[in-house]
């Protein structure tokens, strides 16, 4: 996703900066929350896509390889118990 999103909005994202990009990300999280509560103005699949796109954009602006970070932390097993599937007790991870 890093390359594709950069092609669409890379310069705009860089000029917006981390703070501005984070605010857009949070707005999309709010819309996803509304959708999960049944607000038909915010189609669920589209809101998930928006949140994912803005998260990837935020990672790009921050200089983080999101795919690499996901693979490193969650690629082979649970980061908590180190098992797959997870056998942690409690809500997280």
In Å, what is the CA distance from 12 to each residue of 59, 74, 76?
14, 30, 35
Domain that holds residue 15: 2-62
| Position 26 in a domain | yes
Per-residue confidence (pLDDT) for residue 77, from 0 to 100: 94
Per-residue confidence (pLDDT) for residue 11, from 0 to 100: 77
* Total-model pTM: 0.81
| Position 16 in a domain | yes
| Position 53 in a domain | yes
| Position 82 in a domain | no
| Position 75 in a domain | no
Per-residue confidence (pLDDT) for residue 14, from 0 to 100: 82
Per-residue confidence (pLDDT) for residue 29, from 0 to 100: 98
> Could you tell me the mean pLDDT of each successive run of 10 residues in the chain, 93 residues long?
54 87 96 95 95 93 93 93 90 68
In whole angstroms, give the CA distance from residue 68 to residue 56. 12
Q: How many domains does the chain have?
A: 1
Of the CA atoms within 13 Å of residue 84, those in its CB half-sphere come to 6
């Amino acid at each position: 996703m890093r390359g594709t999103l950069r092609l669409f909005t890379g310069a705009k994202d860089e000029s917006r900066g981390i703070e501005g990009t984070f605010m857009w990300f949070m707005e999309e999280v709010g819309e996803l929350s509304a959708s999960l509560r049944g607000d038909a103005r915010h189609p669920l699949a589209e809101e998930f896509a928006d949140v994912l796109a803005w998260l990837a954009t935020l990672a790009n602006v921050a200089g983080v390889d999101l795919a690499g970070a996901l693979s490193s932390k969650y690629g082979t097993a649970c980061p908590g118990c180190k098992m797959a599937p997870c056998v942690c007790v409690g809500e997280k991870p």
